[in-house]
Amino acid sequence: MAQFHPKVTPIYQTSVFTFEDLNELESYFEQPGNQYMYSRFGNPNTDELAAEVSKLEGGAGAVVTSSGMSAILVAVLTYCQAGDHVLCAEEIYGGSATLLSQELTRIGIAISFVPGEQLYTLSNHVQPNTKMVLAETISNPLLQVLDINRLAEETKQANIKLVIDNTFASPVITKPLALGADMVMHSVTKYLSGHSDVTAGVVVCQEQDLQRAKQVVMTFGVNLSPFESWLAARGLKTLKLRIRQHSQNALAIAQFLQQHPKVEQVWYPGLEQHEQHLLAKEQGNGLFGGMLSFRIQDKLETVNAFMQALQQMPFAPSLAGVSTSISHPLRTSHRSFTPERLDKLGITLGVIRLSVGIEEAEELIADLGQALEKI
């Protein structure tokens, strides 16, 4: 039979691989990585995606998972067991907070949330059983920028692990492992895949943690399907181009919104007025990402009128696709937070999160402008 050399990896849409005999089966167990047996244990498509993301992040290897949420689960279970304690940045994705505080506590892992201003002085929060800290490179939804190198110095001094959710930034903007983080995770659903057609996650590890992370994925069965791995690997090929355009558009829109009389506040690290602008500029190599948030009047009818008036930006409770969309943190991603916590963080009814796509910036600004005029 002729040998074929496809330019693109085929989709290995199979749950199981076959063996010739027991000798070949033993070879699988004696030389891991040379063959495949069962797609929950490994598949060429999942391995390709893991390898490509690991290369971008500068890791020793990676595991891909069924969602961003399962990626956080894998990260925590790589380092923690019942009786351990986890610290988490107070401003974080609502789903992450729910997983930690409502589910992992049920299996005996204690959780404490640390206010942003106290992240760099952890001595008051670290307990004898504290094993790790979880924080986001750029926080969801108010775009606070984490000084990863500074936090890494704190965690190393306390002898605990630092896990960074790099979803909002992507490795094009920031590489947390190079800044001292021990592990990086992403919701691949977002920028890495980039086209709003995949639900996936990834955990990028140092060498000493890789086998444990693989064991968690395999045993808990949170592996990704071959087809979604293939789609994500395809999307990954345009990541650098997309992030540059996302960032360029977001900066132009943030500058427009900042001067608009009906916008009360804008959160975007690319604006000089942002309190971590200089850190974001240095840590992000001059790119600030495609996510921003802004506040209009805190009235339900105002928010609804604005959403309904938009012609090119659908209300979609996710982010990072090539097409621009808006979301509402109070009613979607952070609805599980208590009113007191929401008030402390400043997440009010009028806060709109904008995931800026790669369309023409002028068209997006025009759509925002006409919608703001109708409120």
What's the pLDDT score for residue 337? 84
231 lies in the same domain as 266? no
Residue type at position 119: L
Domain count, the chain: 2
Residues contacting residue 63 through CB under 8 Å, at least 6 positions apart: 50, 74, 202, 203, 205, 210, 213, 214, 216, 217
Rounded Cα distance between 201 and 79, Å, is 18
Looking at the structure, do residues 299 and 218 belong to the same domain, yes or no? no
**In whole angstroms, what is the distance from residue 161 CA to residue 148 CA?**
12
Q: Indicate if 242 belongs to the active site.
A: no
Q: What are phi and psi of 206, to 5 degrees?
A: -80, 165
Do 221 and 267 fall within a single domain?
no
Q: How far is residue 336's CA from residue 342's CA, in Å, rounded to a whole number?
A: 10
Q: Which of 51, 10, 34, 63 is nearest to 221 (CA)?
A: 63
Q: Which is it for the CA torsion 60, 48, 234, 165, positive or negative? A: negative
CATH number, position 212: 3.40.640.10
190, 214, 242, 353: the catalytic one is: 190
Given 93, 161, 214, 295, the catalytic residue: 93
Yes or no: say if 331 and 297 are a contact pair by the CB < 8 Å rule.
no
Of 36, 47, 131, 165, the catalytic one is: 165
Please state at what angle helix 226-236 crosses helix 44-57, rounded to 10 degrees: 30
Question: Is 319 in the same domain as 222?
Answer: no
User: Do 324 and 247 reside in the same domain of the chain?
Assistant: yes
Sign of CA dihedral 212, 196, 93, 281: positive
84 among known catalytic residues:
no
pLDDT reported for residue 113: 97
Q: State the 10-residue block means of pLDDT for the chain, 375 residues long.
A: 81 95 91 87 97 98 98 98 98 94 97 95 96 97 97 97 98 98 98 97 98 97 98 98 98 98 98 97 96 97 97 95 96 85 88 98 98 96
With respect to residue 185, please indicate whether it lies within any of the assigned structural domains.
yes
Supply the DSSP symbol for 97.
Answer: H
Give yes or no: 131 in active site.
no
Question: What is the pTM assigned to this prediction?
Answer: 0.95
Q: Looking at this protein, which amino acid is placed at residue 84?
A: D
For residue 310, what are the domain limits? 239-372
Q: Reduced to 3 states, what is the DSSP secondary structure of residue 88?
A: strand
**Alpha helix stretches (DSSP H) within the chain:** 22-30, 44-57, 68-79, 94-98, 148-158, 207-220, 226-236, 239-258, 277-283, 300-309, 339-345, 361-372
What are the DSSP calls for 171-192, one per residue?
TTT--GGGGT-SEEEEETTTTT
Terminal Cα-to-Cα distance of the chain (whole angstroms): 68
Task: Note whether 37 and 98 are same-domain residues.
Answer: yes
DSSP state at residue 5: -
State how far the alpha carbon of 189 is from the alpha carbons of 161, 178, 204, 364, in Å. 25, 23, 15, 23
Q: Which of 236, 268, 283 is the last residue of a domain?
A: 236
Structure token pair of residue 49: 């995606």
Q: How far apart are CA 206 and CA 183, in angstroms?
A: 7
In a domain, 298, yes or no: yes
Upper half-sphere CA count for residue 125 (Cβ side, 13 Å)? 25
In a domain, 33, yes or no: yes
pLDDT (0 to 100) of residue 193: 98
Together in a domain, 230 and 262:
no
263, 195: one domain: no
Identify the DSSP state of 118: G
CATH number at residue 270: 3.90.1150.10
The confidence score (pLDDT) of residue 338 equals: 85
135 and 103 within one domain? yes
Q: What is the pLDDT of residue 13?
A: 96
Marked catalytic residue, from 40, 212, 262, 335: 40
In this structure, are residues 130 and 177 in contact, taking their beta carbons and an 8 Å threshold?
A: no
28 among known catalytic residues: no
